[in-house]
Amino acid sequence: MNEFELIRELTKNLHTHEGVAMGVGDDCAILNLGAEGKSTLFKTDAIVESVHFDRNADAAKVGRKALARCLSDIAAMAGRPLHAVVTLGLPEDFDPGYITRIYAGMNELAAEYNVAIVGGETTNNGDRLLINVAVIGEVESGKAVLRTGAQAGDAIFVSGELGGSLAGKHFEFTPRLKEAAWLASSGDVHAMIDLSDGLAGDLKHLVEASGVGAELMETSIPISRAAKLRYRGNETSKPPVLAALTDGEDFELLFTVSRADAVKILDGWKKEFPDTPITCIGKITSGSELQIKGERGKRNLTESGFVHFSPN
């Protein structure tokens, strides 16, 4: 039973009520708390020492990352983040100065996106540092962009360049909040997800949620300089395109747009965000196959994204 199978098992019979517009299954939950014209987004996410960062990592960057991951999920719904609460699971030998710098890094990003950290919890956690952030956000009612809306014929876009995030980007990525808000207001964005498990894995999540297939164009996938350098420097055995497909923690937006709006979105984005690449990497297909078209023809996309665990 791997991570995603376990989650399916855990979440299949959860109690719900009329305040839940959408529960488990997308980047955030969507709630109705009674504000006119607005829905509330709710998300929780954790990073753990030796899994998402090493003990020698810069504390401010660790704190920044813990919050930024949640903001990326709010972005994936085209929402605005508002409030965060933070849990610190502390190793027994923790250094208070390190923890203070974690909070400083987190708070700096919070201020940048006008997010208020409004509560916290501290507890022992054996020998590892764990940081959990839960975020509340908002979006105009009915305007959240889900994973479920992709339609056959849609163009598939991705922001930024992919792969090799471990070289540094996983600490410094920009949560694509502005870009997502612009997208949602500029055209007919059918479906969106943020890339946390890698392009291959997250595209799979998106097409499964939408009940469609996809065809990627291998030569169009934007590969990061870091992915190329890591391969050349023998830091990874993954060829760059494989890194772009399977490395986790890109935190870019993957979204689909009706074919009619594709050029408008492409041109508009380039004007609005000239420093952030946007690339059309393929199209949504009917059926349920995930395929990739390379120089040697078309094949099934068998690569998968990052999976935290797969015991048994």
| Residues in 140-169 at the binding interface with its own copies, rule: CB under 8 A | none
- Give the SS3 label for residue 224: coil
Question: CB-hemisphere CA count at 13 Å for 205?
Answer: 24
Cα 65–Cα 66–Cα 67 angle in degrees, nearest 5: 90
For its own copies, the binding residue among 55, 111, 172, 235 (CB under 8 A) is 111
CA 225 to chain centre: 20
Residues 6+ apart with CB under 8 A from 56: none
- DSSP code for 53: B
For its own copies, the binding residue among 98, 132, 186, 266 (CB under 8 A) is 132
| Other CB atoms within 10 A of residue 82 CB | 17
> How many chain residues interact with its own copies (CB under 8 A)?
78
For its own copies, the binding residue among 44, 141, 148, 151 (CB under 8 A) is 44
For its own copies, the binding residue among 57, 58, 85, 304 (CB under 8 A) is 85
| Other CB atoms within 10 A of residue 27 CB | 24
* Dihedral sign, Cα of residue 172, residue 82, residue 101, residue 198: negative
Looking only at residues 16 through 35 of this chain, which bind its own copies when binding is defined by CB under 8 A?
16-17, 19-20, 22-24, 28-29, 31, 33-35
CA 259 to chain centre: 24
Looking only at residues 182 through 211 of this chain, which bind its own copies when binding is defined by CB under 8 A?
none
Looking only at residues 53 through 82 of this chain, which bind its own copies when binding is defined by CB under 8 A?
82
For its own copies, the binding residue among 114, 234, 237, 300 (CB under 8 A) is 114
Looking only at residues 87 through 106 of this chain, which bind its own copies when binding is defined by CB under 8 A?
87, 89-90, 92-94, 96, 99-100, 103
Of 274 and 311, nearer to its own copies (C-beta) is: 311
CB of 194 to its own copies, least distance (A): 14
